[in-house]
């Protein structure tokens, strides 16, 4: 009862409702998007059966902070944060690709590398690298944006050939992606962290490219602790990281990778609380601020009432 795993609100001028893996999105008059960061958690493109207390608040507040901190690089969709779990912003026409950028050989890139592949989305990964080694320079490895099922790796060449993005727009997406990653890297360094990899989503509003969705959260990004990174690499010890990767690792250890006929292992109360603590830990590390837990005694009513107050006061 102290988490939100689904919503079913009905707002004034509501046009449609979309339920993503983690977010519930309400379209208001084809102009505003109300994005509720629920406490659902997904891994391997599967939504796990239990909510993680305060996860939605963590994601929403980190994303809102970094959208504001990067608005000098690229305009973004965000207008206001009327509740700790809610962002309201402009309705943009999204590009059908996600811009994934990697500074280190980790996660999916490492799994591909370990299988002997040295090219990812037409980007070359040098020989002789170990897991979590730093790339000579960050590489962009886009994915298709699937509404159902798995996102798929796609090269720049195929994006242009399929007409998913124009050449002119893609050049801007690349530029923004490198600049956002550099800014995120600088912010992380000040907090004693390494931004390992992340993804950005973009859309268009009145013909201009906008940054949309979330940015630099533990759902969209991977972080290492900077202290001890070199030593761990030298000794072949796993990196201490703040990301959702530990959830994926737990699932793999328990025989689940989202494949057909695999069953999600039982999420014990202890495990759920551990995940919640890790999300709060990331918030406090990356923002350098104490996390203030919101009142969850009547969480659905709180969220609904705060959204309604915003809509009553909002002037186009």
User: Over the stretch 24-44, which tens digit does the pLDDT of each residue have?
Assistant: 999 999 999 999 999 999 888
Query: What pLDDT shows up at residue 145?
Result: 82
Tell me the sheet residues that pair with 46. Answer: 43
> Taking the domains of the chain in order of start, what are their residue ranges?
14-92+245-313, 94-202+224-236
Query: What pLDDT shows up at residue 146?
Result: 67
Query: What pLDDT shows up at residue 115?
Result: 97
Residue 176 confidence (pLDDT) above 80: yes
pLDDT tens per residue across span 198-239: 999 999 999 999 999 999 988 889 999 999 999 999 999 999
Residue 244 confidence (pLDDT) above 80: no
pTM: 0.88
Q: E strand or H helix at 224, and its extent?
A: strand 221-225
Query: What pLDDT shows up at residue 240?
Result: 87
Domain 14-92+245-313 carries which CATH code? 3.30.200.20
Q: Exposed, middle or buried, 151 (CB in 10 Å: 0-12/13-18/19+)?
A: middle
Query: What pLDDT shows up at residue 67?
Result: 97
Closest CA to 76 of 222, 200, 221: 200
94-202+224-236 fold: D-amino Acid Aminotransferase; Chain A, domain 1 (3.30.470)
């Amino acid at each position: 009862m102290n988490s939100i795993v689904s919503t079913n609100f009905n707002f004034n001028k509501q046009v449609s409702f979309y339920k993503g893996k983690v977010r519930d999105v309400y379209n208001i008059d084809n102009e505003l998007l109300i994005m509720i960061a629920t406490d659902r958690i997904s891994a391997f493109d599967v939504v796990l059966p239990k909510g993680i207390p305060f996860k939605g608040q963590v994601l929403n507040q980190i994303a809102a902070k970094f959208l504001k901190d990067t608005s000098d690089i690229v305009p973004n969709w965000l207008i206001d944060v009327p509740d700790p779990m809610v962002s309201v912003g402009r309705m943009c026409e999204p590009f059908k690709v996600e811009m994934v950028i990697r500074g280190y050989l980790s996660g999916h890139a490492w799994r591909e590398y370990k299988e002997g592949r040295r090219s990812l989305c037409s980007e070359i990964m040098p020989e002789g690298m170990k897991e979590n080694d730093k790339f000579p320079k960050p590489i962009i490895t886009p994915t298709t944006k699937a509404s159902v099922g798995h996102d798929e790796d796609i090269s720049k060449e195929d994006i242009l050939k399929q007409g998913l993005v124009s050449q002119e727009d893609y050049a801007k997406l690349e530029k923004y992606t490198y600049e956002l990653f550099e800014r995120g890297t600088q912010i992380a360094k000040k907090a004693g962290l390494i931004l390992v990899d992340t993804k950005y989503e973009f859309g268009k509003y009145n013909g201009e490219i906008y940054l949309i969705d979330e940015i630099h959260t533990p759902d969209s990004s991977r972080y290492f602790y900077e202290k001890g990174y070199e030593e761990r690499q030298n000794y072949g010890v796993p990196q201490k990281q703040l990301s959702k990767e530990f959830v994926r690792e737990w699932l793999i250890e328990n025989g689940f990778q989202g494949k057909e006929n695999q069953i999600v292992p039982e999420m014990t109360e202890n495990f759920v609380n551990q995940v919640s603590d890790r999300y709060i830990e990331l918030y406090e590390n990356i923002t350098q601020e104490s996390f203030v837990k919101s009142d969850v005694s009547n969480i659905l009513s709180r969220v609904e009432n705060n959204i309604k107050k915003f809509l009553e006061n909002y002037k186009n």
